[in-house]
Structure 1
Amino acid sequence: MAWRSLPILLTCGLLLAAAPAAPAVPFRPVRALTFNIHTGIGEDGRLDLARTAAVIRDSGADIAGLQEVDVHWAARSEFADQATELARMLGMRSFFAPIYDLPPLTEGAPRRQYGVAVLSRFPILRAENHPITRLSTQDPDPVPQPMPGFAEAVVLARGIPLHVYVTHLDFRPDPAVRAAQVADTLRILDQDGRRARQVLLGDFNAEPTAPELAPLFGSLRDTWPGPDPGLTYPAAAPAKRIDYVTVSPTLRTRDPAVLASDASDHRPVRVTLRP
């Protein structure tokens, strides 16, 4: 099933919040994946969403953050609802957060949307599409301004609320918009409180030493260890690390891996989370 209304809060979440405090629940490991799916188009230029789903399935991910997701967007993806289709193929829940939401090309067709998505094997208690600073690719004369497309889904991961965020930062060489996006991201994450378990998954479009990412890594931990560079882009012969799994200090991690795949122009990154 998929959710798009903003924000969403399930009744069971309210009941849980009102109930007496329960004994601490051991938090068993959870696998998290970030994957820029390139709208289902692989390195061979062929659209194959089943191939995308197979990569996510084979990774063993419990939670996946996806970037470059089309929902009725264009002929390149056959106007499919990719968020819903991937959730169906994988037996997962989904939340889609559009960056762009445009009228259809033909009367009566669904609206055209493009953005990021969360897939989860666990219940999604609530979800929200946060605005952050963006420079539109659809406006012929864009200026930086708040736009949606920063997804948050609070999932009940083995009985423990886990705040999962998915982002896709600006791709341009000028880092100014990315720097503003990092500041917006930290402001939003601060609203969860210091004890929250947070995971930020995304294509940051910048390498780890980029100055604009430094404030982010001051609050969240980059889960990739050295000395392996963990290169993710381009998928055929990776030369850059721009895809990340980052976590709050309340979580430990193990077994980080960049997964070889030709299902996209990016390689996915998988990390196991522990409390």
Structure 2
Amino acid sequence: MRHRHLGTATLALGLVVLTDVLRVFLPSVITIFGQAASTPAELLGAFALGWFVLALAAPALVVRVGARPVGLAAVLVLGATRLALTAAPGGRTQLWLASAGLLAGLVWLAATAAQVTHPVPGLAFGLTAGTLGHALLGTHDLVWWGRWESWLLSVALVALLLGAAVASARPADASPAVSEQPVAPPARSWLLAGPALLLGGMVALSPAVASTAMSFWYGAAGTALPPLFALAPLGGAVALFVFCTLTPPAGRWRPLPPVLLSAGALLFGYGPPTALSPAMLLGAAGLGGCLALTTVEQGPSTAARRGYAAVGGMLVFAVAAVLYYAAYDIGYPNGSLPAGVAVLVGLVALGGRLRPAAAGTVPSPAAAGSTTAGSTADGRPAWLAAALAALVAFGAAWVHGPWLVATNRDGPPEQVRLVAYNIRMGFGLDGRLDLAALDRAIGPADVVVLSEVDRGWLLNGGHDTLHLLATRLEMPYVFAPAAGALWGDAVLSRWPVRQVQTRALPAVGAPTGAQALGVTVDFSEGVRLAVVSTHLQPPPGTDPVVQARAVAEFATGYADGGPLVVAGDFNTEPGDPAFAALTGAGLLDAFAAVRPLPTSPADDPREQIDHIFVSPDLVATDPVAVPSTASDHLPVAVTLRLPPAAPQ
């Protein structure tokens, strides 16, 4: 029993560290290897998948050398690379460290599968611990902190993993009694590790998705509900996941978990943004139930088969993730992919036969693999574990909830500093999520218009970049999705905002969606400013004139004759048809006096594609493109002098 508990703890801790490395590897592939769309999507996918394919050799290595030495060597490399990533300066060093850590983690997983016959408790506790840890950190990974606390916590995590791995690798005690001997479930328990990591990180157990989901309900600035409820979907999701994992369904209830999981995945893929909350809850309950189903079924299980199942499941993770997110570069429907993985999980979970009880014995729940935590028939430990997980999630919400408060100063301002910035999901040219660098690039501002805002894409590490940056800037935000519910544009304002409106722009064959977001900044005493944020996304090699016309029509109608600013990444240069469509609608180029003003790429600006347009009644001064490599674009800024309030 002691070794079974150690194996469960090692698996859980290892999964947390492996997930940490994945949250660095995935965005590194995009931002460092791919330089964010400058490398063909097919090459990006091949590079990412190559490491998972290479790991298919791990089970044979485990059989030839032995699970314990291979597992110990792999977990040492995994821990070392995890610590090295905390010190990595970004760039190619970060990419290769993350790749080495990923490969080591996959080899460790294969070696662990050869030794641990009942992985579900470890997988469940690892997924839950990783989720709650990410929530407690506000979705800001320790790797990106750049402070001494990140070293302290990272060293503690790796030390716990290495200690548990060394202890569990020692020879086991004498064989336990027959009633305690586990009957090895089929390798499908391990096969679900990768898909569970994918569906959990994509929607069911994602703190960033939870905070985004609530923002669609409690308003633009995130202040209508107390902070305790900022992660309400996550609290319910982790509680359902833990409880359903520890209480396997029986009899006619066995098909229920796959149905719930598929329903959650369909809502995520095809539902409106407000459906994210029920998608999380359904997905978490179904995912936990599917894992639990594999603990009460019987089938052949060898060390090699379990190893191949573990690595094969991670390959499913990689293929599905690449296919899902490549759709935004290549262009094809991807809403069915999460549902397809959910159906696969359900089929695997239901694919075995019930284990017959041995004559004269009643296998304990721990022996059956449902949990090593001593679950009993009345389910009280399962309820307690679920309640504890939910409590931690709500505690994380209290720490990182929407404390942002719109500050309406006394009277209207004499001038307003407005910044427009394509933040590339928060990642700089070095491939690091550097909130401090973004803060410095934005500088003192009253209104900030952001493009390429990521609020939980697993591909980018599952961060709520908007909330992280808004918290640092102490500015409430309005978010409008453009590609799915988690990626789009935003407006941040130190002053209250009213009359939020959005309009989807014509796709004109572009794979990534585009939209226009209009907000009215209320300076009081009848002084208001209409701000429209957009990011034009034309097909490669074409001018976004159709989208520009749609933005001009929306913006002028939204402002209704009042002061207006239209800002963002327009992917068009002065003199192009799209640029002319905006100036032809009566808008003025705020940077006309300082042209040329290149803004991309950030390290060697050559293209003038980030702009601010203003209505004729606004006076724009101090136009500038701020030097910074915190993104692949430069932020652009102007100071606006507002017209006097209209007489009442």
Kindly provide the CA deviation profile for residues 158-203 of structure 1, in whole angstroms up to 9, marking residues without a partner as x: 642111111111242112xx11111211221232355311111111
Local SS of the residue matching 1:154: strand
Matched, 1:71 2:455: yes
Question: How far has the Cα of 1:62 moved from its partner?
Answer: 0.6
Q: For residues 85 and 38 of structure 1, do their structure 2 counterparts lie closer, same or farther at Cα, with a shift above 3 Å needed?
A: same
Local SS of the residue matching 1:126: strand
The answer to whether the Cα contact below 8 Å between 2:535 and 2:568 also exists between their aligned partners in 1 is yes
Q: For residues 240 and 122 of structure 1, do their structure 2 counterparts lie closer, same or farther at Cα, with a shift above 3 Å needed?
A: same
- Which residue pairs with 2:489 in the alignment? 116
What is the identity, as a one-letter code, of the residue corresponding to 1:237? Answer: D
The answer to whether the Cα contact below 8 Å between 2:549 and 2:578 also exists between their aligned partners in 1 is no
Counterpart selection for 1:85 from 443, 468, 471:
468
Question: How far has the Cα of 1:32 moved from its partner?
Answer: 0.5
Q: For residues 130 and 239 of structure 1, do their structure 2 counterparts lie closer, same or farther at Cα, with a shift above 3 Å needed?
A: same
Which residues of 2 match residues 139-178 of structure 1 at below 5 A? 149-157=515-523, 159=525, 160-171=527-538, 172-175=540-543, 178=544
Distance 2:499 2:578 in 1: 30
The answer to whether the Cα contact below 8 Å between 1:235 and 1:267 also exists between their aligned partners in 2 is yes
- Which residue pairs with 2:429 in the alignment? 43
* Sequence identity (%): 34
Question: How far has the Cα of 1:44 moved from its partner?
Answer: 1.4
Distance 1:5 1:209 in 2: 41
Number of paired residues? 237
Distance 1:183 1:242 in 2: 16
Counterpart selection for 1:33 from 394, 419, 423:
419
Counterpart selection for 1:202 from 568, 574, 584:
568
- Which residue pairs with 1:129 in the alignment? 502
Distance 2:423 2:218 in 1: 24
* Structure with the largest fraction of strand: 1
Distance 2:594 2:528 in 1: 33
Question: How far has the Cα of 1:53 moved from its partner?
Answer: 2.7
Local SS of the residue matching 1:191: helix
Matched, 1:96 2:440: no
Distance 2:424 2:477 in 1: 18
Say which one has the larger Rg: 2
Local SS of the residue matching 1:129: strand
Question: Structure 1 runs of 4+ off > 6 angstroms?
Answer: none
Question: How far has the Cα of 1:136 moved from its partner?
Answer: 4.4
Question: How far has the Cα of 1:129 moved from its partner?
Answer: 2.1
Q: For residues 26 and 61 of structure 1, do their structure 2 counterparts lie closer, same or farther at Cα, with a shift above 3 Å needed?
A: closer
Local SS of the residue matching 1:244: strand
Q: For residues 88 and 193 of structure 1, do their structure 2 counterparts lie closer, same or farther at Cα, with a shift above 3 Å needed?
A: closer
- Which residue pairs with 1:13 in the alignment? none
Q: For residues 193 and 65 of structure 1, do their structure 2 counterparts lie closer, same or farther at Cα, with a shift above 3 Å needed?
A: closer
The answer to whether the Cα contact below 8 Å between 1:95 and 1:117 also exists between their aligned partners in 2 is yes
User: Which 5+ residue runs of structure 1 have no aligned equivalent?
Assistant: 9-24, 103-112, 139-146
Distance 1:252 1:191 in 2: 21
- Which residue pairs with 1:225 in the alignment? 592
Local SS of the residue matching 1:67: strand
Local SS of the residue matching 1:200: strand
- Which residue pairs with 2:130 in the alignment? none
Distance 1:235 1:255 in 2: 20
- Which residue pairs with 1:181 in the alignment? 547
User: Which 5+ residue runs of structure 2 have no aligned equivalent?
Assistant: 1-210, 221-410, 643-648
What is the identity, as a one-letter code, of the residue corresponding to 1:71? Answer: R
Give the TM-score normalised by structure 1: 0.79
Which residues of 2 match residues 231-246 of structure 1 at below 5 A? 231-246=598-613
Local SS of the residue matching 1:122: coil
Q: For residues 229 and 49 of structure 1, do their structure 2 counterparts lie closer, same or farther at Cα, with a shift above 3 Å needed?
A: same
Matched, 1:213 2:586: no
Distance 1:6 1:204 in 2: 30
Question: How far has the Cα of 1:245 moved from its partner?
Answer: 0.9
The answer to whether the Cα contact below 8 Å between 1:122 and 1:155 also exists between their aligned partners in 2 is yes
- Which residue pairs with 1:14 in the alignment? none
Local SS of the residue matching 2:501: strand
Question: How far has the Cα of 1:26 moved from its partner?
Answer: 6.1
Question: How far has the Cα of 1:230 moved from its partner?
Answer: 1.1
The answer to whether the Cα contact below 8 Å between 2:421 and 2:633 also exists between their aligned partners in 1 is yes
- Which residue pairs with 1:269 in the alignment? 636
Question: How far has the Cα of 1:137 moved from its partner?
Answer: 2.2
Counterpart selection for 1:257 from 624, 637, 640:
624
Local SS of the residue matching 1:72: coil
Local SS of the residue matching 1:101: coil
What is the identity, as a one-letter code, of the residue corresponding to 2:491? Answer: V
* Structure with the largest fraction of helix: 2
Question: How far has the Cα of 1:27 moved from its partner?
Answer: 5.0
Range moving further from structure 2, 194-203 or 44-53? 44-53
What is the identity, as a one-letter code, of the residue corresponding to 1:67? Answer: S
Distance 1:273 1:117 in 2: 19
Distance 1:129 1:31 in 2: 23
What is the identity, as a one-letter code, of the residue corresponding to 2:542? Answer: D
Distance 2:496 2:414 in 1: 16
The answer to whether the Cα contact below 8 Å between 1:4 and 1:97 also exists between their aligned partners in 2 is no
The answer to whether the Cα contact below 8 Å between 2:419 and 2:445 also exists between their aligned partners in 1 is yes
Distance 2:490 2:470 in 1: 10
Distance 2:217 2:528 in 1: 20
Distance 2:553 2:444 in 1: 32
What is the identity, as a one-letter code, of the residue corresponding to 2:518? Answer: E
What is the identity, as a one-letter code, of the residue corresponding to 2:480? Answer: A
Question: How far has the Cα of 1:126 moved from its partner?
Answer: 2.5
Distance 2:565 2:458 in 1: 31
The structure, 1 or 2, with the larger RCO (C-alpha pairs under 8 Å, 6+ apart) is 1
Question: How far has the Cα of 1:7 moved from its partner?
Answer: 9.4
Q: For residues 26 and 232 of structure 1, do their structure 2 counterparts lie closer, same or farther at Cα, with a shift above 3 Å needed?
A: same
Kindly provide the CA deviation profile for residues 122-167 of structure 1, in whole angstroms up to 9, marking residues without a partner as x: 11123122111124426xxxxxxxx663111111136421111111
